[in-house]
Chains A and B, each alone.
Chain A
Amino acid sequence: MYDLNNDTDLLLAGFTNDYIEGTLDKTEQTVFKEYLAEDAELASFIRKSTQGKQMLRNAFRVRAADDFEEKLAKRIAKEKQSESPCNSTDLASA
């Protein structure tokens, strides 16, 4: 029996995951579907997990503030100042 609350049955967890991700080949998918037809608990778990995956598409995307790179450059410059000076070559002007 697949323990849905444990990391123990990793083989079945792997198949379950590959099924949700759609990465099983045709034969594996057919066999796995037959297996699911006999295991209502696992089938229900897969439905939940698939829905959870779909919900995550609604997550908003966060991006850096416009002055992020400027702030970082300042911090790096400050750090460099406190260390011994070292020359670096600018790739663009090289």
Chain B
Amino acid sequence: MEKLSQKQIHNLSDEDLMEHFQAGYEQAFNILVSRFKDRLHNFLYRYTHNHQDCEDLVQETFLRVYRSKHSYERIAKFSTWMYTIALNLAKSLYKKKQRMTTVTIHEDESDPDDRPMKIEDTNILQDDSLHEKMCMDELEKALMELSEDFREVVVLRDIQQLAYDEIAEITDIPMGTVKSRINRGRAQLQSLLKNHVYPETISA
């Protein structure tokens, strides 16, 4: 495989990086981790609401990517393939947790390792009003109240900003169903939060 400079490596597409990784270049994998670690945390946190579980799931996702590198075929986008792995792991954990206890978005006081997740924009929490913090908390609660079918597509679309065709592939459901569920998931969320005033939605 062609030798590349650092700059060239970092400019490669996800799929090109995966090909280099398949050819034995470990740094390509490290770049993929660096590109996707935050996005996966942001996605999987919506299933766990627990720092440690979320981090474990993200680690497990990358480990599976690492182990199964040769099962990836370029016909699929790398992100689609990886999100499918992540979603399957999240669903398994979610089901396991549901069997054990009710999932809570609050810190698990019995778990000394559980600590709040890092919030990307720390200024929001430090400077903005309590109202905004409450809105975010209520939103997270409402997301957890959505059925799994709705939550997964809404999170993939409105939090992860994935394209519809990619969501359909990751969830393995037809595009029309994806759209229908996103419509209904968003509407349900609005109903759950209708008593909370969101500045952006006042004029909507």
Contacts and interface: CB of A to CB of B under 8 A. Distances in A.
A10 B177 contact: yes
A55 B187 contact: no
B183 interface: yes
Contacts of B124: 60
A91 B204 contact: no
Contacts of A54: 198, 200-201, 204
A18 B143 CA distance: 22
A57 interface: yes
A52 B190 contact: yes
Interface in A18-37: 18, 20
A9 B117 CA distance: 40
A52 B136 contact: no
B159 A59 contact: yes
A54 B28 CA distance: 36
A3 to B, nearest CB: 10
A76 to B, nearest CB: 6
Given A55-B139, A59-B136, A76-B66, A49 B183 contact: yes
Contacts of A76: 63, 66
A18 B42 CA distance: 25
B4 A94 contact: yes
Contacts of B37: 63-64, 68-69
B103 interface: no
24 contacts: A7-B176, A11-B176, A13-B176, A13-B180, A14-B180, A17-B182, A49-B184, A49-B190, A50-B204, A51-B204, A52-B189, A52-B190, A53-B186, A55-B189, A57-B200, A60-B124, A63-B41, A71-B55, A75-B63, A88-B26, A89-B25, A91-B9, A91-B26, A92-B27
